[in-house]
Structure 1
Amino acid sequence: MSLPLSALATDSAGDVARLIETALTPVFLLSGVGTLLNLFNTRSARVSDQIEKAADLLDDELNKAGRKSLNRHIRRLRHRIMVLDIAIMFGGIAGATTCGAAFVLFLGSVRDASIALWLVGLFGAALLATVTALAVFIADCFLSWNSLRTDGPLPKSVRESAKNS
């Protein structure tokens, strides 16, 4: 039984370079997915903090118009959390399928098996999940921008309460 390295010794330098290039592609995608997940989690934490602050203000707000505005704001923030959770889920799927693609590449090089279909499927799923996560993240951005455009700032009494707390 020969080692996989002995087969590499008979290949040309171009074939070996192509093998290394192919093996590194999932690693770069995984790094990008990790960065996206960090971004999504940070944004989700900030929105959660805003929900807590708005809920505290809602407890203190006696004005009916202010309560209505805060309830609308909290509802919108909860929608954003849901959208960010979906983006995080697809980011996780992208990471898992990228790892699967890297594993299949490794298996193919060690076992010398025909793995093209698995590799294309896993890497394609990783790319699709990454694109979906980005699309859902853009939806969160639109939710955020829409609230600023349609509702404007919170009422003055609510803003002053926020400054004092």
Structure 2
Amino acid sequence: MTETNVATIANIIQLAVAPVFLLAGIGGILNVVAHRLARVVDRVRSLESGVGTADAKARELRTLAILDRRMRLCHWAIGLCVVAALLISIVVIILFIADLAAINFAIPVSLLFIAAMASLTLGLLLFLSEVTIATRSVRVDEKFIARRKARP
């Protein structure tokens, strides 16, 4: 390889570093959402196997409906984050191809990156929705909460 080729490849790698860090971040997000989904699925399985009395059954059915909604949100969040990761991967590939083939792919790369960010944003919003539903559906009984005493 000539010195110019090495410098060109080094420049391409520098351009690709930021998207690769973004991929690592998306991987971390996917790990968190997948873990939450697994916990919801485990909870659904335990509730479905133990639906008992009529009173408990009504409460458990309400809980199952909430868990079903949370599963759907996690599923869509994972899907959108995976789409974002795939789009970022395509951006990195195009950056290499465009530079090696001396083709101007500025507009497609820009559009793919915008699409990736939109997909990631929607995935994060769905994740936030799932977390909000989870925290609103769980209430700690007052007898377990130590209240602070008012200061004189």
Please confirm whether the aligned pair reaches a TM-score higher than 0.5, indicating the same fold. yes
Q: How is 1:37-76 mapped onto 2 (pairs within 5 angstroms)?
A: 37-58=30-51, 61-62=52-53, 64-76=54-66
Shift of 1:65: 1.7
Whole-angstrom distance in 2 between the partners of 1:39 and 1:106: 31
Superposed CA offset, 1:14-38 (max 9, x none): x987643312111111111111111
After TM superposition, the score normalised by the length of structure 1 is 0.77
Kindly provide the amino acid, as one letter, of the partner of residue 112 in structure 2: L
Moved over 6 A (4+): none
* Alignment partner, residue 25 of structure 1: 18
Whole-angstrom distance in 2 between the partners of 1:7 and 1:120: 26
RMSD, aligned CA: 2.1
Unaligned runs of 5+ in 1: 154-165
The structure with more helix, counted as a fraction of residues: 1
Shift of 1:145: 1.2
Kindly provide the amino acid, as one letter, of the partner of residue 71 in structure 2: I
Whole-angstrom distance in 2 between the partners of 1:19 and 1:83: 37
After TM superposition, the score normalised by the length of structure 2 is 0.83
1:97 aligns with 2:87: yes
Superposed CA offset, 1:72-103 (max 9, x none): 00110000000000001101101110111001
Whole-angstrom distance in 1 between the partners of 2:117 and 2:71: 23
Superposed CA offset, 1:121-141 (max 9, x none): 111111111111111000000
Q: Secondary structure at the match of 1:82?
A: helix
CA contact (8 A) 2:12 2:96 kept: no
Whole-angstrom distance in 1 between the partners of 2:89 and 2:12: 17
